[in-house]
Amino acid sequence: MGDELNLGNSSDAQRHLRLAATGRPPAGSPAAPPATAAPVAPGIEPAPDAGHIVDYLRVLHKRRWTAGTAFLVIFLGVMLYTFTVTPIYEARTRLLIEADNPNVVNFQEVIDEQGAKADYYQTQYSILQSRVLARKTIDELQLWNHPYLGGDGDAGPGLFSRMFGGGEAGASTPGAGETVEQSRAIDEFLSQLTVSPIRNSRLVDLKFRLPDPELASRIVNTLAKNYIEQNLEYKFLASKEASDWLGERLGEQRKQVEQAEAALQRYREQNDAISLEDRENIVVQKLADLNAAVTLAKTERFQKQALYNQLQSLQKNRAALDSFPAILSNSYIQQQKAELSQLQSQLTQLSEKLGEKHPDIIKVRSAIQLAEARLNAEVSKVVQSVRNEYQAALAKENSLIAALNQQKGEAQTMNRKAIDAGVLERDVHSSRQMYESLLQRAKETGVSTELKTSNIRVVDQAEKPRSPVSPRTILNLMLALFGGGFLAFGLAFFFEYVDSRIKTPDEIKAHLGLPSLGMVPALDPKAWKDREPLINNGVPPNFAEAFRALRTNVLFSSAEEGSRSLVITSTGPGEGKTMVAANLAIGLAQTGQRVILIDADMRRPRVHQMFRQKQQPGLSNLMVGQTTPSETIRKSGVPGLWLLTAGHLPPNPAELLNSQRFKEFVRLLGEHFDSVIIDSPPIMAVTDAAIAASATTGIVFVVGAEMTSRHAARAALEQLQNGRPRFLGAVLNRVELERNAYYYSTYYRREYAQYYQAAR
């Protein structure tokens, strides 16, 4: 075979020789077992990857420049600030503020004592930060023109705020009697003042910060002194105002006492109430006696009435009347009854002896009539006596009831007078008590006005600070160290997290679900500017070894008999698919196989440039029938490797690849070559690769390391899967082994290079 290949001149003997050279049995003989990787020992599973810390270290090593830059920026920035900023000193004065309970009028029932104390302390803290106290302190120390407070004609914020951001000067409206400059100075002053109450105590710290330690201590001590003096002044004014107010109220209360006493005296004179209490006691006693007498009279009247009623019922019954107690107890009636009984007995005796008209009988009868008359007269007297006694008892009862009612009226009148007098007396008593209380408070207030005592005193006076509070060098450096480290780690892992580009063979397996066929290191583009990086062209050992490993994995990827046709494609342009296809074809040819490399990228062909061949005639010319295979297929200069360039760039490459002629042509090449390598365009750019893959036995997917995102690669694979192809695996190309040596240490180490030399 010369420079051109005649597809119709191959014989069976030559084919057996070629197959023997590749290590495969000829067709019709028993197939040799395919070469596989070393199996794992039975019952032993591969150890799970426990190198999570190592993975983190790899990420940090890979992102070392980002992490290092962030760390240095933070650390050096904080260090520069710490060692160049003006130191700030803080002076502190500690005050003891006792609760102050003014004793002007003591109405403790009305005031919540605990709430009053809380309000009192909050009020004192606000007074310490008042503009009046600040203005008084600035006046005393003559700080209006001080540069720290915006003096020396500076119309802007004070020097301290401009340098250290200690508050917004001039942010408040000038108070009464303040100029704009004075208002700005007071704002600057208050921005550096801190009032810090000490928890669960009556102590409070006054703190003032300035670059000048001596001035800071003078300011805070003067402020404390002015605060105590102002508190005393407030107390004096309050006592004086209270004294004046008490004097006015005392005069008014004195008049009220006099008016109340005069009204009580007039009432006593008008109502004869001089001895009202004694008279009230007599009336009450008399009322009780009358009440008892009425009760007794009613009882006696009930008894008399009962006897009278009984006597009235016995008037017509002489026998029952004789048995009436009052008659039985009357001796005269009993004497008359005895005498009448004797006369009747005598009449009975005489009637037996004498006639009716006998003088003795007439005499006795007259005596009997006289005795009966006397008896009846006496009985009538008894009856009248009982009636008189009943009527007397009734009259007595009515008389006593009338006296009792009269006494009740007198008692009620006396009670009304006592109530009115009591009201007047209580008015006099309360007025006199209020007057005495006001008089006592007036005396106490007069004494307290003369006493200048304060419930506030200085516990610790401010001294000149010996060390600044800002910047705190060690703390700042520690914060810079930890903050810079945290930011560095955070940025490293953040960029690694958002970086979806495929970087390792493991990510190919994890994200694409394809086996990794190999990893191709990147070459220095400057060193290979004038020549192509082919493994037969003096490439580095590790680069050549990478393609030998790729070749081996491709050979072992299928155990099927016969030639293989592979499509080499990628997600997008620039991932090195043409370089991978060319070197894979060279590698297969170096094993003694007959290999043909087809440039199916009829849009941006590169194969002819790599092997320094003519572009035309080529595949497009062959597909349209302009040339024959023997005219288009030519030797590459590498033993066992033939080339089929792209040819003339057609307007419809996809239609040519999708034609039945192309599929028959690939099948025909499989009868004459051991391997058919087809370099196709990127799948995401055009559909040529998917169309070409339908006529081949497998696809090798090229992924540019740190170039292709896993999302784009998955989309490319989904587009390729429309033709239901067979994926052999993926190749990770252009791996920066030198730049990320630690990151790729699992897959490659520098000491492996000595084996590559021997393998060549």
Write out pLDDT tens, residues 684-696. 888 878 888 888 8
- Is the pLDDT assigned to residue 280 strictly greater than 70? no
pLDDT at 221: 93
Q: Based on the number of CB atoms within 10 Å of its own CB, is 437 exposed (0-12), middle (13-18) or buried (19 or more)?
A: middle
Q: One-letter amino acid identity for 309? A: N
Give the 3-state secondary structure of residue 579.
Answer: helix
Q: Between 205 and 330, where is the model more confident?
A: 205
| pLDDT level of residue 12 (50, 70, 90 thresholds) | very low
Rounded mean pLDDT, 722-730 = 80
Look up the CATH superfamily of 500-759.
P-loop containing nucleotide triphosphate hydrolases (3.40.50.300)
- With 70 as the cut, is the pLDDT of residue 48 above it? no
CA 612 to chain centre: 72
Q: Binning pLDDT at 50, 70 and 90, where does residue 723 land? A: low
203 has pLDDT over 90: yes
Per-residue confidence (pLDDT) for residue 47, from 0 to 100: 40
pLDDT of residue 121: 87
Query: 3-state SS string over 426-473?
Result: HHHHHHHHHHHHHHHHHHHHHHHHHCCCCCEEEEECCCCCCCCCECCH
In 130-228, DSSP assigns E strands to 193-197, 203-210
Res 374: pLDDT: 73
CA–CA gap between residue 72 and residue 488 (Å, rounded) = 9
Find the angle CA(125)-CA(129)-CA(134) to the nearest 5 degrees. Answer: 140
Digit-coded pLDDT (tens) for 289-326: 778 888 887 787 777 777 777 666 665 566 556 656 66
Q: What is the mean pLDDT of residues 524-552?
A: 81
Considering only CA atoms, which of 607, 544, 568 is closest in space to residue 703?
Answer: 568
Cβ atoms of 82 and 476 closer than 8 Å = yes
Per-residue pLDDT averaged across 226-247, rounded?
A: 81
Q: Mapped to the 3 state alphabet, what secondary structure does 371-418 carry?
A: HHHHHHHHHHHHHHHHHHHHHHHHHHHHHHHHHHHHHHHHHHHHHHHH
What pLDDT is attached to residue 133? 92
Which structure tokens are listed for 760?
Answer: 């060549």
pLDDT of residue 225: 92
Spatial distance between the Cα atoms of 246 and 255, rounded to a whole number of angstroms: 14
- Answer whether residue 125 shows pLDDT above 70: yes
Please give the CATH architecture assigned to the domain spanning 281-413.
Orthogonal Bundle (1.10)
| Residue-level pLDDT at 327 | 65
Q: Which amino acid is located at 436 in the chain?
A: E
**pLDDT score of 29 more than 70:** no
Cis omega (within 30 of 0) on the bond before 87? no
Round to whole Å and give the CA distance between 517 and 553: 6
Most confident of 355-359, 373-377, 395-399, 617-621: 617-621
Work out the average pLDDT over 605-631: 85
Residue 726 pLDDT grade (very low, low, confident, very high; cuts 50, 70, 90): confident
**Angstrom distance (rounded) from CA 623 to CA 655:** 10
The 10s digit of each residue's pLDDT in 491-500 is 888 887 777 7
Residue 150 predicted with pLDDT over 80 = no
What's residue 130's pLDDT?
A: 92
Contact (Cβ atoms closer than 8 angstroms) between residue 572 and residue 502: no
**Average pLDDT of the chain, as a whole number:** 75
Model confidence at 25, pLDDT cuts 50, 70, 90, reads very low
Strand positions, DSSP E, 198-330: 203-210
205 pLDDT exceeds 80? yes
Q: Is 669 in contact with 597 (CB distance < 8 Å)?
A: no
Q: What is the pLDDT of residue 738?
A: 66
* Confidence at residue 28, expressed as pLDDT on a 0 to 100 scale: 34
* For residue 759, pLDDT beyond 60: no
Q: Tell me how far apart the alpha carbons of residues 695 and 70 are, in angstroms, rounded to a whole number.
A: 53
DSSP state letters, 507-563: HIIIII---EEEEEE---TTTTSSS---TTS---HHHHHHHHHHHHHHHTT---SS-
| pTM over cut 0.75 | no
Q: Which residues pair with 698 in a beta bridge?
A: 566
d(CA 632, CA 76): 66
Across the range 446-475, mean pLDDT stands at 80
Q: Which helix (H) or strand (E) holds 190?
A: helix 180-191
